[in-house]
Amino acid sequence: MKRLLIVWHSRTGAARAMAQAAAGGAAAEPDVEVRVLAAADAGPDDLLAADGYLFACPENLASMSGEMKEFFDRSYYPVLEKLSGRPYASLVAAGSDGTGAARQLARIATGWRLKPIADPLIVGTHAQTPEAILAEKALGEAELTPCAELGAAMAAGLAMGVF
């Protein structure tokens, strides 16, 4: 059985909802075990035990969230040169752009020699005021369906040995 690890961080719920939607899509594949962990609870052993990865986080100040960065900081060197060739994709919740966080995730994945299986999936919440940025986010079906589809595609690819 293949294992898909979904690591997420969220302050206002959008990235968490994206990760959960991806997990729901992936769960339809019976030959893949899906594990969903908050970034604070995930570490090198979890990465080593998985065959593929989905990383979900918000973009804060044109960067991935600090908690997600801290996960990568703790995990980077212990798994360096041990994950080469494994597939990954990223999910980013952003108030406007999202490309800064996506770029950071891609650079880390490149250092680990992970293989991207899709372009970063960026969901814009259009939160532009301090109140809107800090408010709890509720994503709709239009935003969550692509996340579920990405999770399903990742799981199917792992099960078939495509990745």
Residue 66 sits in a domain whose CATH number is 3.40.50.360
Q: Kind of pairing, strands 52-60 and 63-64? A: antiparallel
What confidence score (pLDDT) does residue 136 get?
A: 87
Task: Please give the structure tokens belonging to residue 71.
Answer: 């996960």
Q: What is the DSSP letter of 84?
A: T
What confidence score (pLDDT) does residue 132 get?
A: 87
Q: What is the DSSP letter of 40?
A: G
Instruction: Give the Cα-Cα-Cα angle 61, 76, 38 (nearest 5 degrees).
Output: 60
What confidence score (pLDDT) does residue 20 get?
A: 98
> Which positions of the chain have pLDDT values less than 70?
none
Q: How far apart are CA 145 and CA 154, in angstroms?
A: 14
Identify whether the C-beta of residue 117 lies closer than 8 Å to the C-beta of residue 153: yes
Report the DSSP beta bridge partners of residue 63.
60
What confidence score (pLDDT) does residue 142 get?
A: 97
Total domains in the chain come to 1
Quote the domain boundaries for residue 50.
2-160
Residues 6+ apart with CB under 8 A from 53: 4, 5, 6, 7, 47, 86, 87, 88, 89, 114
HSE-CB at 87 with a 13 A cutoff on CA atoms is: 22
pTM of the model: 0.96
